[in-house]
Amino acid sequence: MIIDCHGQYTTTPDPHQEFRDAQLAQLEDPGLPEPKPAAISDDAIRESIEANQLKLLRERGADMTIFSPKASGMAHHEGDEATSRAWARACNDLIHRAVGLFPDHFFGVCQLPQSPGVPIKNSIEELERCVNELGFVGCNLNPDPSGGHWTSMPLTDRSWYPFFEKMVELDVPAMIHVSASCNPNFHATGAHYINADTTAFMQFVQGNLFEDFPDLRFVILHGGGAVPYHWGRYRGLADRLKRPPLPEHVMRNVFFDTCVYHQAGIDLLFRVIDIDNILFGSEMVGAVRGVDPETGFHFDDTKRYIDALDIPETNKRKMFELNARRVYPRLDAFLKARGK
Amino acid sequence: MIIDCHGQYTTTPDPHQEFRDAQLAQLEDPGLPEPKPAAISDDAIRESIEANQLKLLRERGADMTIFSPKASGMAHHEGDEATSRAWARACNDLIHRAVGLFPDHFFGVCQLPQSPGVPIKNSIEELERCVNELGFVGCNLNPDPSGGHWTSMPLTDRSWYPFFEKMVELDVPAMIHVSASCNPNFHATGAHYINADTTAFMQFVQGNLFEDFPDLRFVILHGGGAVPYHWGRYRGLADRLKRPPLPEHVMRNVFFDTCVYHQAGIDLLFRVIDIDNILFGSEMVGAVRGVDPETGFHFDDTKRYIDALDIPETNKRKMFELNARRVYPRLDAFLKARGK
């Protein structure tokens, strides 16, 4: 079984974005009526997925996708808490419907109603709704709701703890994922995403978060940002900061996906990171959609790079399936209930 | 000949830091007297270098170092323009003296008197002084003088152009290097440095800076941040942004050093980046000073990883010497004048 841990609903039917546009327009002009989430037919959802994520899933040989709202669309920096709450709810409801239409292929991960300066504990309610009522298996957590100004506290700060307690209680992991950048220094998918991955990891190295939360689990996407390439730097910094070695200090709780879009990068990832910490992912349909002229295949067809690795089948199975079932126990339970 | 392009005077005699401390104290309490740069003897400078950078240079088998003030000490976010001007001048004067004491082993690169919100053209005077009067061969350019708040414009913005014009006129490159982080999200050497490298590269991908400045040259340190690991992502993003392929769009003007502290990372760097774009560097004595328990050698002894590469001697010579002489023509001229 092949589980893609990093899929996003980037191809939603137009009325969904029109709702968002109306929401932002109303922020500009409070005299406008309060917009309501769009009415979208099952057929429109089906079409938007069959022609995209499901088609690619089949073509590339994966079985299912852990599916979240479009990360760059979360845009927690827009508007206020009410804006984010309405938008997160609409996005999550749409994921829930998509999952319901393709229950064999998609499992939901939710967007949170984060907003700059708003305590993260205010996101607990939506997490509980998504997990307990909608059957989601995890969440996307934005370490920088300001969209590139980095005005909140590091993930190791105690202000995040109420949310982490709830994650542990619900037994769901968080994927660390920033959203669009409103800072002109940071291109969203080319700088902000990768920087955030690197930043979060280094926060975990500096802190002692997993002493307080031994069962907390994070997936750092995009192959762990810069971390595997600079693995020696992080091992050396942990030592200099008098932290335990990374395998026990961070890597019991942190996992990287395989969203690295060339063979040399994937080779490095598997060379330096323990196989138990790697989850298959493709970010499909995401930031880099083109065909690599050097290979003739899509940049984000990450399974091809993995297929080219000379590693034991038992390791491939961990990375394609078993690790995801371990990191997402609710996914595992759903699969077991179906005899899988 | 082996030239280390990334050395820093991190071991300055104590009175130098005491001057800085007095400067910061006076910012807090303007009633204090205006401090003056410390009186430091030649012997104190000699000792601070002989026991550190020069010792390591000899032990590790390099011949010379392109030497700058301590990057984390620049701290452009402290005080105002006058603070940065006095501090940069003191740091550069000390580099000049160190270079004068060890002319066969060190060449100077200057710190700039950047300050948040202050136009970069105000740094031209110090660049000219260092290059024309002190014989420096390049500069360190901070893309984020705010120290982790990223309040300035991207390097491709026209506000940087007057400085770039002067760099081209003087025929000196800039090493892109942020300084200490005053944003609690970013550990300086573990996140802020690497993020800045990645960010600068993506700014170059997005923009068209090198159409306007075909002779402008930047060295992106720390192995190019996350870029080589995500080389496929950057090739794909260039394509998606309808930019020319990276070799012609960016890599005629941008170079990466070898400050990557493990064998797998160095292997990746040399596998994906053209040999003409790699400059030997070790960041010595820098962020990661310890001994790697896995190898028994210092993490930042980067020459060992390179020695282990199976690449032609002609390529090693490019990376150890010829590329540095091409990127730093003033260094090349100094060496030629000495018959080297």
3-state secondary structure of A291: strand
Nearest to B226 among A144, A225, A300 (CB): A225
CA distance B97 to A305: 52
H or E stretch at A84? helix A81-101
Q: Among partner residues B191, B202, B268, which is closest to A202 by beta-carbon distance? A: B191
Confidence of residue A286 (pLDDT cuts 50, 70, 90): confident
A144-185 pLDDT tens trace: 999 999 999 999 999 999 999 999 999 999 999 999 999 999
* Residue A284 binned pLDDT confidence (cut-offs 50, 70, 90): confident
- Which residue of B157, B198, B235 is in closest CB contact with A292? B235
Q: From chain B, pick out residues whose CB is under 8 angstroms from the CB of A249.
A: none
Q: What is the mean predicted confidence (pLDDT) over B38-45?
A: 96
Distance from CA of B77 to the nearest CA of A (A): 16
Indicate the DSSP class of residue B132.
I
Instruction: Please determine, for residue B186, whether its predicted confidence score (pLDDT) is greater than 90.
Output: yes
Distance of alpha carbon B268 from alpha carbon B282, whole angstroms: 17
Q: Do A153 and B185 touch (CB under 8 A)?
A: yes
A152 → chain B, closest CA residue: B185
Read off the pLDDT band of B285 (50, 70, 90).
confident
pLDDT of residue A134: 98
Q: Within 10 A of B46 (CB to CB), how many other CB atoms are there?
A: 15
Beta carbons of A233 and B287 less than 8 Å apart: yes
What are the tens digits of pLDDT across the range B54-70? 999 999 999 999 999 99
For residues B308 and B268, is the Cβ–Cβ distance under 8 A? no
Whole-angstrom CA distances from B55 to A188, B40, B50, B260 are 43, 21, 6, 21
Q: What residues of A are labeled active site? A: 283
- pTM of the entire structure? 0.97
- Beta-carbon separation of B232 and A186 below 8 A: no
Cβ distance of A226 and B225 shorter than 8 Å: yes
Tell whether ipTM is more than 0.95: yes
B12-31 tens-digit pLDDT: 999 999 999 999 999 999 99
CA distance, residue B122 to nearest chain A CA (Å): 21
DSSP element (H, E) containing A3: strand A3-9
Share of chain A above pLDDT 70, in %: 100
Chain B's closest residue to A143, CA to CA, is B185
* Closest partner CB to B288 (pick from A195, A237, A271): A237
Report, as residue numbers or ranges, the catalytic residues of B.
283
Mean pLDDT for the stretch of residues B157-167: 98
- Distance of residue A203 Cα from the nearest chain B Cα, in angstroms: 7
Which residues on chain A are in Cβ contact (under 8 Å) with B233?
Answer: 189-190, 194, 222, 260-262, 287-288, 299
